[in-house]
Amino acid sequence: MYFIVGRTAFSLLITSLCAVLGHLLGLWWWGPLNWGAWIGAGIGVVLAGVRDGLRGHRVLEWLRSGHSTGAPRYRSAWGELAYRIERALVLRDKALTGEQQRLAEFLSAIEASPNGVLMLDAKGHITWCNSVAADHFGLDPERDRGQRVTNLVRMPAFVELLQAPPQAEPVTLLFQPLGLMLSILVRSYGQGLKLVLSQDVTERHRAEGMRRDFVANVSHEIRTPLTVLAGFVETMASLPLTDAERQRVLGLMTQQTRRMQTLVSDLLTLAQLEGSPRPMADHWVELADLLAQVAGEAHGLSQGRHRLGFPADEEVAGVQIGGAQSELLSAMTNLATNAVRYTPEGGSIDITWCTRDSGEGVYEVRDTGVGIERQHLPRLTERFYRVDGSRSRETGGTGLGLSIVKHVVQRHGAQLEVDSEPGKGSSFRIVFPAVRLRRSA
């Protein structure tokens, strides 16, 4: 208001000045009766109008230029208008920046989610997705924005899921070629918009598969000797047997019972290894004692059918390994008895110990046995994995030995290394880290 009154007063002043000037000039030119005052006033009005028009033009120019510079400052209605517009724009920009910041924070919170989040518009075009969803569906969060998702993820089951009415429960789908098992939940919101939530359940699925396989394997391993035992019991109950026959049947029954005992004992060992904390390195076990027990087991199993070699006493005297005695013994014996079991009569087995320059200690079992083909090597430590099932069972194997070895090795911070050549023999090594070794005085 102040500006409008001021501006009007200023225009009136100019007009009046021009009128007075015009009157004076008119007096000089025409005498007392003249039009000078009117002409002067007219010129004053035109000058005020032109000045006002120019200012209006500048304000318009400023608005058209995207108001990147400050608004023109005039002590007039135009100045007031430009100032008010400028203030409104500043307030709007501030509010917008605040909103954008809140949106960015919200999106980065979704981005931090371990699950995939994919937002679709009513036509199934991608409006936004986080990087987890991009990895799950093989999308590019920037490049693919605005694209129809079914053009990019062409899996029929996924397309069907998007088109079906939203389900309350997530659906699990296998996404090739990445081989991901994804649990997908589609939710509708707003005006036909869709939210696709994805979770990678590949590992869980694999673990469930392994658990199922494990239960099936255990059942199978126990059922076989049980069936044999049941058959023998029936035979003994229904047939009159001579003493010799009874002895033979009892011998076979004992064999099957031992097989079940070994299996249950291996299963318990595995369960204990998986469920107990890692053994501390502050309990020291004499390597010589361990080797003596390993030698006893190996000789007992071989019954003189193989040549067995062990490190000389002075090589291992004083060497101690930090860990759990029973576990170390179990792992070292397993490797030695495997060598005996998979080496034909007349073959040789060498058990050695050496300390590397790095301070690591290597327990090695080398045999001249049947060997293992290359493709089996990565799977040897899987539970119940056998290269030759019948040979394993014939020699009393449970398929769990190397699995136990792997657990013990891991729990002691060691490494298991295997080299093998079919028909020539194998070498299994446990490499203990320097921190788990010491030499007593």
Site residues (vs ligand ADP, CB under 6 A): 338-339, 342, 367, 369-372, 380, 385-388, 392, 397-403, 426
Measured from the CB atom, is 183 or 426 closer to ligand ADP? 426
What is the nearest approach in angstroms of ligand ADP to the Cβ of residue 349? 9
User: How far is residue 321's CA from residue 302's CA, in Å, rounded to a whole number?
Assistant: 27
What is the nearest approach in angstroms of ligand ADP to the Cβ of residue 261? 14
Q: Which has the closest alpha carbon to 407: 268, 264, 215?
A: 268
Measured from the CB atom, is 200 or 367 closer to ligand ADP? 367
What is the nearest approach in angstroms of ligand ADP to the Cβ of residue 403? 6
Cβ–Cβ under 8 Å, residues 383 and 217: yes
What is the nearest approach in angstroms of ligand ADP to the Cβ of residue 192? 57
Q: How far is CA 269 from CA 149, 259, 312, 326, in A?
A: 51, 15, 31, 10
What is the nearest approach in angstroms of ligand ADP to the Cβ of residue 161? 42
Measured from the CB atom, is 186 or 370 closer to ligand ADP? 370
Cβ–Cβ under 8 Å, residues 96 and 116: no
Dig out the tokens for 377 from the structure: 């090597």
Measured from the CB atom, is 134 or 335 closer to ligand ADP? 335
What is the nearest approach in angstroms of ligand ADP to the Cβ of residue 423? 11
Measured from the CB atom, is 87 or 424 closer to ligand ADP? 424
Task: Let me know the angle formed at the C-alpha of 238 by 234 and 244, rounded to the nearest 5 degrees.
Answer: 85
Measured from the CB atom, is 299 or 386 closer to ligand ADP? 386
Measured from the CB atom, is 25 or 222 closer to ligand ADP? 222
Measured from the CB atom, is 342 or 353 closer to ligand ADP? 342
What is the nearest approach in angstroms of ligand ADP to the Cβ of residue 217? 12
Total Cβ atoms within 10 A of residue 324: 19
Measured from the CB atom, is 315 or 388 closer to ligand ADP? 388
Measured from the CB atom, is 141 or 371 closer to ligand ADP? 371
What is the nearest approach in angstroms of ligand ADP to the Cβ of residue 228? 18
What is the nearest approach in angstroms of ligand ADP to the Cβ of residue 411? 17
Measured from the CB atom, is 6 or 371 closer to ligand ADP? 371
What is the nearest approach in angstroms of ligand ADP to the Cβ of residue 339? 5
- The three state secondary structure string of the chain is CHHHHHHHHHHHHHHHHHHHHHHHHHHHHHCCCCCHHHHHHHHHHHHHHHHHHHHHHHHHHHHHCCCCCCCCCCCCHHHHHHHHHHHHHHHHHHHHHHHHHHHHHHHHHHHCCCCEEEEECCCCEEEEECHHHHHHHCCCCCCCCCCEHHHHCCCHHHHHHHHCCCCCCCEEEEECCCCEEEEEEEEEECCCEEEEEEEECHHHHHHHHHHHHHHHHHHHHHHHHHHHHHHHHHHHHHCCCCHHHHHHHHHHHHHHHHHHHHHHHHHHHHHHHHHCCCCCCCCEEEHHHHHHHHHHHHHHHHCCCCEEECCCHHHHCCEEEECCHHHHHHHHHHHHHHHHHCCCCCCEEEEEEEECCCCCEEEEEEECCCCCCHHHHHHCCCCCCCCCHHHHHHCCCCCCHHHHHHHHHHHCCCEEEEEEECCCEEEEEEEECHHHEEECC
What is the nearest approach in angstroms of ligand ADP to the Cβ of residue 147? 50
